[in-house]
Amino acid sequence: MYAASSAKFVDYSDALLRFPPPRLETATFTRNPGGWNITLRWTFDNPGRLPMRLVSFQFEFWVDNRSDSREPLDGAKLGTEYTRILSFYLDRYTGPVVPAGGSKSLDWWVDETDPGNAGKITSAMDPTDGSVYIVVADGVLVFYVAEINERHQGFMPPLYRRT
């Protein structure tokens, strides 16, 4: 009994220490007749020996208007740019599971049809190649290790990326 409990504690501690923040795998902006379709694919990696159950993930993203010379995370600049808060909230029994030693990818979609918001995206596009630069911040992940009744929270560092 002692050996099994000790092994479970070591696996549990290892899972908490090694569980990295999610990574943005792809960000796709596709023009449509009414505006833009945006897809953000996040990948959650689990290098540990126990499965992780995701119960909530929230983040905010902005389309960086690079013609504004202020820093990408400047609060006044962010206030003028296209932004969205995206998330999911599930309970500890129905959230997606990241298997031990595996990965799980999840997509978020935005169908932006508001002409003002679509215009912010269009005007922020790089004129040379049409790429879009995004800022992601305020990422918060809530998860459980295995089926142990202990809620954990992880935070994501800000991200600046060209699509």
Higher pLDDT pick, 9 / 27: 27
pLDDT at 4 over 70: no
Domain residues for the domain of 11 are 2-162
pLDDT at site 9 = 65
Tens of pLDDT, residues 137-163: 999 999 999 878 899 999 999 999 999
- The helix/strand/coil state of 6 is helix
Tens of pLDDT, residues 45-66: 999 999 999 999 999 999 999 9
- For residues 146 and 53, give the distance between their C-alpha atoms in angstroms, rounded to a whole number: 7
pLDDT at site 18 = 83
Tens of pLDDT, residues 108-137: 999 999 999 999 999 999 988 999 999 999
Residues 6+ apart with CB under 8 A from 138: 58, 59, 60
- The DSSP secondary-structure symbol of 115 reads H
The amino acid occupying position 163 is: T
103-112: strand order across its sheet:
23-32, 35-45, 103-112
Question: What's the average model confidence in pLDDT over 67-75?
Answer: 91
Predicted confidence band of residue 3 (pLDDT cuts 50, 70, 90): low
Question: What's the average model confidence in pLDDT over 3-29?
Answer: 82
pLDDT at 14 over 60: yes
With beta carbons less than 8 A apart as the criterion, state whether 58 and 87 touch.
yes
The enclosing domain of 60 has a CATH number of: 2.60.40
DSSP 9-49: HHHHHHHHHH-PPPEEEEEEEEEETTEEEEEEEEEEE--SS
Question: What's the average model confidence in pLDDT over 8-32?
Answer: 87
pLDDT at 105 over 80: yes
Predicted confidence band of residue 10 (pLDDT cuts 50, 70, 90): confident
pLDDT at 87 over 80: yes
- For residues 155 and 139, give the distance between their C-alpha atoms in angstroms, rounded to a whole number: 6
- The helix/strand/coil state of 99 is coil
How far, rounded to the nearest angstrom, does the alpha carbon of residue 126 sit from its chain's CA centroid? 23
Q: What is the pTM of this model?
A: 0.89
The total number of structural domains that make up the chain = 1
